């Protein structure tokens, strides 16, 4: 149940995030029905979910089965091999994507909280697909700036909301034409409808930035807390 050597008491001491619940905007009955009619995840992913729900103070940060399956399908259908994830947390989404990558595929996942990184790495080390994941501990923007132009197939943005617009610009730079961005929490627990605090204003700005960007095809999905699905156009002139 517990990743090796992890002190979950330390985990509980950090209460800086996860205070909202997407259940504020998604009907509990519909969410449970969707999960019950979605293929179960691997045993290790189910274990990470249980660990996160019972041993961390912010279970709503976890993507969970429905979004996890959606990520896996997007990886499979797009044929992505080079993935960048911004925001690792306990490793659930990175491992979900890694399970569907080909043997020579790779994920770079970025996390600035060393405790989250340790929990995630301990889970990755127990997975036969863990070798596909490189976890970088650091500020996401600093790491993104070191990545080359147009070499990434797929970016999953799932970290601090104030930087979503900056992450989007960097993601468009590192993405190849036809590459995908998935941005989680695009509904921001419904707070984007009447944004007042800094995070909600940042998410509203991000959604507008994407909507107005002619370089991208976009689909705003109301899965869970909202996923903005964005494709960098192949023909940027068209």
61 binds ligand SAM (CB under 6 A): yes
- Nearest residue (CB) to ligand SAM, 14 versus 213: 14
Sheet (strand 82-86) strand order: 133-137, 106-111, 82-86, 152-157, 175-184, 227-232, 216-221
92 binds ligand SAM (CB under 6 A): yes
> Which residues does 29 contact at the CB level (< 8 Å), separation at least 6?
none
164 binds ligand SAM (CB under 6 A): no
Binding to ligand SAM in span 103-142, by CB under 6 A: 110-113, 116, 139-140
Q: Please state the closest distance from residue 84 (CB atom) to ligand SAM, in A.
A: 12
**Which SS3 state, helix, strand or coil, does residue 90 take?**
coil
87 binds ligand SAM (CB under 6 A): yes
Q: Please state the closest distance from residue 167 (CB atom) to ligand SAM, in A.
A: 9
Residue least distant from ligand SAM (Cβ): 87
Q: Please state the closest distance from residue 86 (CB atom) to ligand SAM, in A.
A: 7
The two structure tokens encoding residue 213: 């960007």
The correct pick among 119, 159, 172, 203 for binding ligand SAM (CB under 6 A) is: 159
**Residue 197, Cα to own-chain centre: how many angstroms?**
22
* E-assigned strand segments in the chain: 82-86, 106-111, 133-137, 152-157, 175-184, 216-221, 227-232
Q: Please state the closest distance from residue 96 (CB atom) to ligand SAM, in A.
A: 8
The two structure tokens encoding residue 98: 């890694």
DSSP string, 22-89: GGGTS-HHHHHHHHHTS----HHHHHHHHHHHHHSS-GGGS-HHHHHHHHHHHHHHHT--EEEEE--T
- Nearest residue (CB) to ligand SAM, 74 versus 110: 110
22 binds ligand SAM (CB under 6 A): no
Binding to ligand SAM in span 39-58, by CB under 6 A: none
- Nearest residue (CB) to ligand SAM, 87 versus 179: 87
Name the residues that contact ligand SAM, by CB under 6 A. Answer: 61-63, 87-90, 92-93, 110-113, 116, 139-140, 158-160
């Amino acid at each position: 149940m517990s990743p090796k050597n992890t002190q979950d008491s330390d985990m509980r001491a950090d209460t800086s995030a996860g205070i909202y619940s997407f259940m504020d905007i998604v009907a509990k009955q519909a969410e449970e029905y969707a999960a019950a009619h979605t293929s179960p995840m691997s045993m290790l992913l189910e274990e990470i979910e249980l660990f996160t729900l019972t041993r961390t103070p912010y279970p709503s940060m976890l993507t969970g089965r429905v979004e996890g399956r959606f990520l896996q399908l997007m990886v499979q259908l797009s044929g992505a091999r080079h993935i960048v994830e911004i925001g690792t947390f306990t490793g659930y989404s990175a491992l979900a994507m890694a399970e569907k990558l080909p043997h020579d595929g790779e994920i770079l996942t970025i996390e600035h909280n060393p405790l989250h990184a340790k929990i995630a790495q301990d889970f990755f080390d127990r997975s036969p697909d863990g070798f596909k994941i490189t976890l970088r501990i650091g500020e996401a923007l600093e790491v993104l700036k070191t990545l080359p132009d147009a070499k990434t197939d797929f970016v999953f943005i799932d970290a601090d909301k104030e930087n979503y617009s900056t992450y989007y610009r960097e993601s468009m730079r590192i993405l190849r034409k036809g590459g995908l961005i998935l941005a989680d929490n695009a509904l921001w627990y419904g707070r984007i409808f009447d944004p007042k605090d800094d995070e909600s204003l940042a998410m509203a700005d991000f959604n507008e930035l994407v909507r107005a960007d002619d370089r991208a095809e976009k689909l705003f999905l109301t899965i869970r807390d909202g996923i903005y699905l964005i494709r960098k156009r192949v023909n940027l002139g068209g």
